[in-house]
Amino acid sequence: MTAARMTPKRKRLWLLVGSLSAMGLAAALVLVSLGDNIVFFYSPTQVDQKLAERSIPPERRFRLGGLVEAGSVQKQGEVVRFRVTDTVKTVDVVYRGLLPDLFREGQGVVAEGMLKDGVFQAREVLAKHDETYMPPEVAKALKEAGRWKDGK
């Protein structure tokens, strides 16, 4: 069929099909590029479960949240080692750099990094910013563990 014989109705149909195909391709490209930048959040219990299922790839970045375990902070120069707990499981964390001023044992923390040989290598550590704030994911994990107290 030549373009001279194509009716206006058929032209609109092909224009619609071409437009939808272009939008679908653009949406697929956006989703693929965003998928590389998604950072999941896990509590120590979830990390343990994911390790048992082998569903965390070795070089996958994610966020680990919970409480800094009392008595676990060890500083050696600019390297800090500590454990994050949700009162059920704990994960060893190694961080190189300066910690936030509000970082303390027993306080809420979110660390971003990856697991390497069973130790969480943190690239960034965030501490809660006041006495009433807790990241929602950490609060949920602590509520599930029975350690959450609504403080007002």
Query: pTM for the complete prediction?
Result: 0.64
What CATH number is given to the structural domain containing 87?
2.40.50.140
State whether 73 and 103 are in the same domain.
yes
State whether 25 and 53 are in the same domain.
no
What residue numbers bound the domain in which 31 lies? 1-37
Q: Would the pLDDT of 84 be above 80?
A: yes
State whether 3 and 56 are in the same domain.
no
* DSSP for residue 133: -
State whether the Cα torsion 42-102-116-57 is positive or negative: positive
Domain presence at residue 75:
yes
Q: Would the pLDDT of 12 be above 80?
A: yes
Q: What's the whole-number average pLDDT of the chain? A: 81
State whether 32 and 106 are in the same domain.
no
Q: Would the pLDDT of 152 be above 60?
A: no
pLDDT band (50, 70, 90) for residue 49 = confident
State whether 46 and 29 are in the same domain.
no
Burial class (CB in 10 A: 0-12, 13-18, 19+), 50: middle
Q: Would the pLDDT of 76 be above 60?
A: yes
Q: Whole-angstrom Cα distance, residue 14 to residue 112?
A: 48
CA angle 143, 105, 72 (to 5 degrees): 105
